[in-house]
Amino acid sequence: MSKINYKIREYNDGSSILPKGAFRISPSGVNRFFSEKTSWYRENLLGEDKKFQGSTASELGNICHHVCEVVANCKITDEKYDSTKLHNAVANYINELDPDIYDQSLISSLWEGMSELLVKEYVLQTNTLITEPFVYNEILSNIFPSGSIDAITSTAPTDTWEDALKGTNIGVLTIRDWKTTGTKPSSMGYGYTLQIYTYAWILRQMGVNIEQVELCYAVRPTKTLPARVFNFKKPFDDQAYDFIEGILKLIAESVQAWNQFPSCRYLLAADYRLKIEDLPKAE
């Protein structure tokens, strides 16, 4: 029986893993704490619907992520990759998308070529230790940076995920994130750096010695250019660790302040509509 799940799954938000009542800091939302402060507070602390509910681009990305995951898992388990099962799973997934929201034909025309490049250039060339592990670590009381990582790789072909957890790996461990985009990227970008550094911080807390982070992009074809791939790497050193830990503590302490001082919520969220009483005035 196959050990590989070809069906595209929903994102694991950790609701069945984290303690009851835990506040989750999503790595993908760390940048929004600064760039979209009001929305971040309303969505995460008032329970309002998220502004972003999905798009054609995000679903194309989900499929490309899944293809990379399936092929990598086949390598990890030394199982033969079943192209027919994967194609059927993707076709079923696309057919279930709402055609009034998502461009099904565009996704169908792009996913295979973009995924194939990512697989050939990166998945097949790397020792992937694990895909989609849900990782978390408490930073303040019942506040957990947490999320699912696309992949963790090693430069040593014999390293395993068990080696990484025990600290006995001999290669450089890298967090890898798959991205799809419509235009050629020029860098890792600040927002994505915060996201992937957060994952690296969590793993360091777990005892996994991440030394590098990497984004692998698949770029859509244009009228004049075929689909292309690019990647960007950054070291995760002590300076990077201290940088992201400070940001995560800032977010966590702001959540604590939100809960402890309701009268100050409008100041935290930069939203005057949340003001419930006048603040004491200085003498």
Give the DSSP H/E element, type plus range, for residue 210.
Answer: strand 210-219
Are 51 and 103 in contact, with CB atoms under 8 Å apart? no
What's the pTM? 0.92
Nearest Cα neighbor of 111 from 54, 177, 178 is 178
Encode pLDDT of 117-164 as tens digits.
Answer: 999 999 999 999 999 999 999 999 999 999 999 999 999 999 999 999
Give pLDDT tens digits for 238-257: 999 999 999 999 999 999 99
Q: Residue 91 half-sphere exposure, CB side, CA atoms within 13 Å?
A: 6
Q: What Rg value do the Cα atoms of the chain yield, rounded? A: 21
Segment (H or E) for 80: none
Strand arrangement of the beta sheet that strand 23-25 belongs to: 23-25, 143-148, 134-136
Give the sign of the dihedral formed by CA 230, CA 236, CA 242, CA 245: positive
pLDDT for the residue 1: 53
Buried b (16+ CB within 10 A) or exposed e, 28-39: bbbbbbeeeeeb
For the residues 40-45, what does the mean pLDDT come to?
95
17-39 pLDDT, tens digit per residue, is 999 899 999 999 999 999 999 99
First to last CA, the chain: 75
- Please state, for a pLDDT cut of 70, what percent of the chain lies above it: 96
Average pLDDT rounded to a whole number, residues 165-176: 97
Which domains occur in the chain, in start order?
32-274 (3.90.320.10)
pLDDT at 4: 85
Residue at 126: amino acid letter: T
